């Protein structure tokens, strides 16, 4: 008995030449396991071999992939997980066809014939891959030379912000073609670009989708979860690029805690959101700009350190109440004005992340 069908996936939700078919699910290879595959890790272990078979088929541009003992729901989950894990498959459509055939000699074995849809032909993909490599090879090699995960991730984060512009009209803005070839994209392109580069340099990074604000559930958004030095953090490159008070303010969205990212965004699924027990790779911790008490000595050092940045002051603190205390300390008896020599500071407060920014009046925003 055969069943025909077409399945349309939501894995690619818009955010603002073929080889022979695989005959049986294959085991994970060194190549398929090289990338950080959060989507695969969250699948039932029974269908992870099928994930590997489908992934290999997609890479081969197979017209048909034969799977055994899987349901349509399984294939839906597998396809969505692959789209989540592999930004390099920019040519893969969200939809696919399938045929099921129950073998009369193996009544318990159901075969599913997966028929993928590709947006490009092999020669076009090879050409685009070559262009992507030309752009990213230097970035990847430079990042690999950095000593720590923090330095590697910060380099990639800064690169994407410095070389990419937010543009809803950008072509291919749901994949890495817009990020690396057009340098114009939206949140999907930023997040997939981050994932692509970090996974290439060996830093685990996954792509997460949801809504940009808990109270505005109609605005889709994408961001990343990154594992640095054994701990998870969240990155929102899109918002880091769009925040232009000062260069330092972009790091509000770098190495965020789970609490901070959930104050800004809400994921479609909580399954992929790991806890963030550490802050050690936060930019503000690294720069001595994270406050847990109203420490005047720490603030004095931070202001002195900000001299080579035009006395732009950016810091985070552990609570809103502490932020108010620090603000009072800075303005009481003209503390910040006497230290810097400026008569006026523009002041910005971001309550979701407890970030505070002070910019001297002479500097353009």
Summarised one tens digit per residue, pLDDT across range 242-289 is 886 678 889 999 999 999 999 989 999 888 999 999 999 999 999 999
Share of the chain above pLDDT 70, in %: 85
d(CA 318, CA 291) in angstroms, rounded, equals 6
Does pLDDT of 291 surpass 80?
Answer: yes
Task: Find out whether 261 and 353 touch, Cβ atoms under 8 Å.
Answer: no
SS3 label, residue 233: strand
How confident is the model at residue 347, as a pLDDT? 86
Band of the pLDDT at 24, cuts 50, 70, 90? very low
Mean pLDDT of 9-19: 42
Residue 279 DSSP label: -
Band of the pLDDT at 358, cuts 50, 70, 90? very high
Q: What is the pTM of this model?
A: 0.87
How many helices and strands in the chain, by DSSP H and E? 13, 14
Band of the pLDDT at 323, cuts 50, 70, 90? very high
Residue identified by tokens 């050409």 is 127
Mean pLDDT of 20-26: 39
How confident is the model at residue 317, as a pLDDT? 95
d(CA 22, CA 189) in angstroms, rounded, equals 31
Residues counted in the chain: 365
Distance of CA 14 to the CA centre of its chain: 15
Phi first, then psi, for residue 203 (nearest 5°) are -105, 120
CA neighbours within 13 Å on the CB side: how many for 175? 20
SS3 label, residue 223: strand
Residue identified by tokens 């997040």 is 191
d(CA 142, CA 126) in angstroms, rounded, equals 24
H/E run at residue 95:
strand 92-102
H/E run at residue 328:
helix 320-331
CA quadruple 29, 209, 140, 152: dihedral sign: negative
H/E run at residue 331:
helix 320-331
Does pLDDT of 38 surpass 50?
Answer: yes
How confident is the model at residue 134, as a pLDDT? 97
H/E run at residue 129:
helix 122-144
- The separation between the first and the last C-alpha atoms of the chain, rounded to the nearest angstrom, is 67
| Strand order from edge to edge, sheet including 205-213 | 231-235, 216-228, 205-213, 266-267
* Tokens at 241, concatenated: 């690029």
d(CA 357, CA 347) in angstroms, rounded, equals 6
Residue 205 DSSP label: E
Task: Find the largest Cα–Cα distance for the chain.
Answer: 88
Q: Where are the alpha helices (DSSP H) in 178-230?
A: 187-200
Q: Name residue 232's beta-bridge partners.
A: 227
Mean pLDDT of 190-197: 98
Does pLDDT of 2 surpass 60?
Answer: no
d(CA 191, CA 129) in angstroms, rounded, equals 18
How confident is the model at residue 23, as a pLDDT? 41
How many beta carbons lie within 10 A of that of residue 135, not counting itself? Answer: 14
Phi first, then psi, for residue 67 (nearest 5°) are -120, 150
Band of the pLDDT at 103, cuts 50, 70, 90? low
């Amino acid at each position: 008995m055969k069943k025909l069908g077409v399945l349309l996936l939501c894995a690619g939700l818009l955010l603002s030449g073929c080889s022979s078919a695989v005959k049986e699910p294959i085991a994970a290879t060194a190549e398929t396991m090289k990338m950080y595959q959060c989507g695969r890790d969250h699948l039932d272990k029974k269908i992870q071999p099928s994930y590997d078979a489908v992934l290999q088929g997609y890479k081969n541009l197979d017209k048909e992939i034969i799977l055994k003992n899987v349901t349509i729901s399984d294939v839906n989950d597998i396809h969505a997980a692959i789209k989540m894990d592999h930004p390099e498959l920019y040519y893969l459509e969200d939809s696919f066809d399938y045929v099921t055939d129950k073998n009369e000699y193996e009544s318990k074995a159901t075969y599913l014939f997966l028929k993928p849809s590709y947006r490009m032909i092999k020669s076009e993909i090879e050409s685009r891959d070559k262009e992507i490599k030309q752009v990213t090879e230097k970035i990847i090699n430079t990042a690999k030379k950095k000593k720590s995960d923090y330095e590697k991730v910060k380099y990639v984060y800064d690169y994407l912000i410095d070389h990419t512009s937010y543009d809803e009209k950008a072509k291919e803005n749901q994949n890495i073609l817009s990020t690396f070839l057009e340098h114009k994209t939206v949140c999907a392109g930023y997040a997939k670009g981050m994932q692509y580069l970090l996974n290439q340099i060996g830093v685990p990074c996954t792509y997460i989708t949801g809504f940009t604000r808990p109270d505005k559930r109609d605005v889709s958004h994408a961001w990343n979860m990154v594992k640095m030095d054994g701990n998870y953090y969240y990155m929102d490159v899109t918002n880091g690029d769009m925040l232009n008070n000062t260069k330092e303010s972009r790091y509000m969205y770098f190495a965020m805690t789970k609490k901070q990212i959930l104050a800004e965004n809400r994921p479609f699924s909580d399954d992929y959101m790991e806890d963030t027990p550490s802050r050690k790779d936060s930019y503000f911790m690294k720069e001595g700009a994270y406050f847990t008490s109203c420490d005047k000595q720490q603030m004095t050092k931070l202001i002195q350190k900000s001299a080579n940045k035009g006395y732009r002051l950016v810091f985070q603190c552990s609570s809103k109440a502490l932020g108010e205390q620090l603000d009072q300390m800075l303005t009481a008896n003209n503390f910040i004005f006497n230290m810097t020599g400026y008569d006026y500071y523009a002041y910005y407060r971001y309550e979701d992340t407890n970030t505070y920014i002070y910019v001297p009046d002479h500097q353009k925003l």
